[in-house]
Amino acid sequence: MEPLFGIWLGLILAVASSAQNNCTCATNKWTVCAPDGSGNCTCTLVGSNHKVDCSTLTSKCLLMKAEMVLLKEKRFWGRARGLVGDDGIYNPDCEDSGTFKAKQCNHTSTCWCVNTAGLRRTNKGDKSLSCSELVRTSWIYIELKHKKRSSAFDVPDVAKALKHLFESRYKLQPKYITAVKYDSPLIQIYLNQEDSEKSRCDVDIADVTYYFEKDVKDDSLFHSNSTLTISVNGDALDIEKLQIYYIDEKPLEFYMRQLASGVGAMVTVVTVITGFGISLLVVLMLLRRRKPEKVEINETGEIKAPSVQ
């Protein structure tokens, strides 16, 4: 009886494993997927019960949250691989829609305001800090540098290849790619997406940029087809440097108290420099006004004492 039970259990596990393997999230590898009661594949974010729409990109906020869960697990099991500092990774608070909450805190008393890209746009403060709105990042400027090659690519071919990449791989509407410029080996990509023109089904340029950044760093977020390959007329475009700049719809905000302390420090430095300069000027003026004494030598070669007038 036991051998028969073991065979049946093995078959059940094999079927379950096969179903599990066929149920994956193509656009997010940081998910747990399983068939539901109706046979559809349902995927939730690692470390939470948040359901993920695998037909589009996952929001940057949810991706960062999942990444923090995985990082903690790696640290627990002693297999931690440090995150690159310029990723700006932290454990964010997300809205139900997946967007960042305007106010972020580090689970202590330190808080700050962020934009739709999750980047800090104010100085850090305490929990009384007020973030009235989530300011939109409407412009993103991406600067690339490709590896050295014997001859430069044709400018139109580079623009065509990169536009196709952003449209096909990241599902970004062509109207949001405002320009692609190329001056070997530098490439500049301009993304612009105003809040008024973005529909609910459009992917956000901040999410697109995060996926692209992960691809370039060889840490793709896609479940399959994880290796990024860019081809320009059959020749590989190998990227060796990436820099991203974010521009918000509204100017950055700063606290007057911290600004005043900075101004005060500047005033102190200027005062010290000014005082030193004035002292030096006075000394130079005194030296210039001081007349040398007249020295007389008599016939025998002796120096005569100056006469008293």
Phi, psi of 57 (to 5 degrees): -75, 145
Taking the CA of residue 78 as centre, how many other CA atoms within 13 Å lie in the half-sphere pointing to its CB?
Answer: 0
Structure tokens that stand for 27 in this block: 């656009």
- The predicted structure's pLDDT at residue 5: 38
Contacts of 86 (CB under 8 A, 6+ apart): none
Distance between CA atoms of residues 171 and 281, nearest Å: 67
Which residues of the chain register pLDDT less than 70? 1-21, 73-88, 225, 254-277, 279-280, 282-284, 286-309
Strand 186-192, strand 137-146: pairing = antiparallel
Domain 137-252 fold is Alpha-Beta Plaits (3.30.70)
Distance between CA atoms of residues 76 and 95, nearest Å: 28
Does residue 75 sit in helix, strand or coil?
helix
- The predicted structure's pLDDT at residue 148: 93
Sign of the CA dihedral with 65 first, then 189, 215, and 32 last: positive
**Exposure of 308 by Cβ count < 10 A (0-12 exposed, 13-18 middle, 19+ buried)?**
exposed
Distance between CA atoms of residues 194 and 305, nearest Å: 90
Contacts of 97 (CB under 8 A, 6+ apart): 59
Structure tokens that stand for 303 in this block: 């120096």
- The predicted structure's pLDDT at residue 227: 81
Distance between CA atoms of residues 144 and 141, nearest Å: 10
In terms of phi and psi (left: phi > 0; alpha: psi -120 to 50; beta: otherwise), the region of 231 is beta
CB atoms within 10 A of CB 241: 13
Dihedral (Cα; 181, 182, 187, 193), 10-degree rounding: 10
**Alpha carbon distances (Å) from 12 to 17, 35, 42:** 8, 15, 20
Distance between CA atoms of residues 130 and 304, nearest Å: 85
Distance between CA atoms of residues 31 and 266, nearest Å: 51
pTM, whole model, 2 decimals? 0.74
Distance between CA atoms of residues 143 and 157, nearest Å: 17
Structure tokens that stand for 193 in this block: 């997406």
Pair 272, 265: CB distance under 8 Å: no
